[in-house]
């Protein structure tokens, strides 16, 4: 029996959409392999009722609801996952590609002498070798990799959500015994950054309105915030905008930021460097607004508007407001 383990990341008691997507993708992989089951692990208190109708396939999901796991801590999370891996034999461990997994997965690979394959986009479903492929050189090429160790750890970037059939699905939730985690030997939280109420995480958003150097200043992003609010989306930023201090790093999209997969991505004043394009490869519809008609962003955009963002965006905002009044 081949067993796969999926880690569910939660924030403030809400399981992240990217982890749900990871579970569903692993279920696809398990269905293509023989004699393979999928299990999950939720670290920290989270309401599992939110997962109803979102999870594909069958399996058992373990949950440790200790308050000490509510906030990410390297050592306590290592202990929790280590207990599961030591108790049962899993061939593979899967994470959504996030800031947490980029810190935790390498530590686990060292501790358990496991192969780590990060950013996996496609899996070889023809055999159980565990091989996968991912983009390299800022998305300009695709490379294939194979694990050498018995235990394999994967991180999977977000992609647009697939529909989940409720037919023949059965998920069982099992509560784990407390780890009795003490503060001794654990690294304390230096500070906690809390997003403003109602602000979506770009990694979770279905609509993203993103800005770059062309916005001109911190104040220029007010237009993007207004448009994002009308569309029910999140505000993103290029690395240049973040380096200038106009936006927080949590909104950065691209090779050194977050990989996103919204249904709609609106790029405003973003030239389209390969590092940025590497983060939006799974986006649905891409709309670009830029004053440079030769900007690389237009090569990947489904719709393009050549013009000054400070002139185009107010008109676009007025058009969206007029449309919403008719609804």
Q: What is the pLDDT of residues 130-188, one digit of tens each?
A: 899 998 887 778 899 999 999 999 999 987 666 665 556 789 999 998 876 555 555 55
Distance CA 8, CA 107 (A): 17
Q: What is the pLDDT of residues 16-69, one digit of tens each?
A: 999 999 999 999 999 888 889 999 999 999 989 889 889 999 999 999 998 889
Mean pLDDT taken over the chain = 89
Distance CA 86, CA 90 (A): 9
Could you tell me the pTM of the whole model? Answer: 0.82
Q: What is the pLDDT of residues 86-102, one digit of tens each?
A: 988 999 999 999 989 99
Q: What is the pLDDT of residue 140?
A: 77
* Residue 205 Cα distances to 160, 228, 300, 322, angstroms: 10, 11, 20, 24
Cα-Cα-Cα-Cα dihedral sign, residues 164, 166, 170, 176? positive
Which domains does the chain possess? 2-175 (3.40.50.620), 207-325 (3.40.50.1220)
């Amino acid at each position: 029996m081949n067993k796969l383990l999926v880690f569910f990341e939660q924030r403030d008691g809400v399981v992240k959409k990217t982890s749900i997507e990871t579970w569903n993708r692993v279920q696809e992989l398990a269905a293509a392999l023989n004699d393979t089951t999928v299990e999950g692990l939720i670290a920290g208190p989270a309401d599992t009722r939110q997962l109803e109708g979102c999870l594909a396939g069958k399996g058992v999901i373990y949950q440790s609801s200790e308050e000490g796991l509510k906030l990410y801590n390297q050592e306590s999370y290592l202990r929790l996952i280590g207990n599961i891996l030591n108790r049962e034999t899993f061939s593979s461990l899967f994470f959504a590609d996030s800031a947490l997994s980029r810190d935790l997965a390498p530590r686990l690979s060292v501790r358990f002498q496991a192969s780590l394959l990060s950013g996996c986009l496609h899996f070889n479903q023809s055999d159980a070798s565990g091989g996968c492929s991912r983009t390299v050189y800022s998305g300009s090429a695709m490379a294939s990799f194979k694990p050498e160790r018995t235990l394999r750890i994967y991180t999977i970037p977000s992609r647009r959500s697939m529909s989940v059939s409720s037919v023949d699905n059965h998920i069982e939730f099992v509560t784990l015994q407390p780890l009795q985690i003490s503060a001794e030997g654990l690294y304390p939280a230096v500070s906690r950054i809390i997003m403003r109420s109602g602000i979506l995480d770009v990694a979770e958003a279905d609509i993203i309105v993103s800005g770059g150097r062309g916005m001109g200043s911190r104040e220029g992003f007010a237009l993007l915030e207004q448009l994002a609010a009308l569309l029910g989306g999140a505000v993103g930023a290029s690395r240049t905008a973040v380096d200038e201090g106009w936006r927080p790093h949590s909104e950065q999209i691209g090779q050194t930021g977050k990989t996103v997969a919204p249904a709609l991505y609106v790029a405003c004043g973003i030239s389209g460097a390969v590092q940025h394009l590497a983060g939006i490869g799974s986006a649905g519809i891409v709309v670009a607004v830029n004053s440079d008609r030769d900007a690389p962003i237009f090569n990947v955009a489904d719709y393009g508007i050549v013009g000054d963002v400070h002139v185009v965006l107010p008109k676009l905002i007025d058009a969206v407001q007029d449309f919403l009044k008719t609804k």
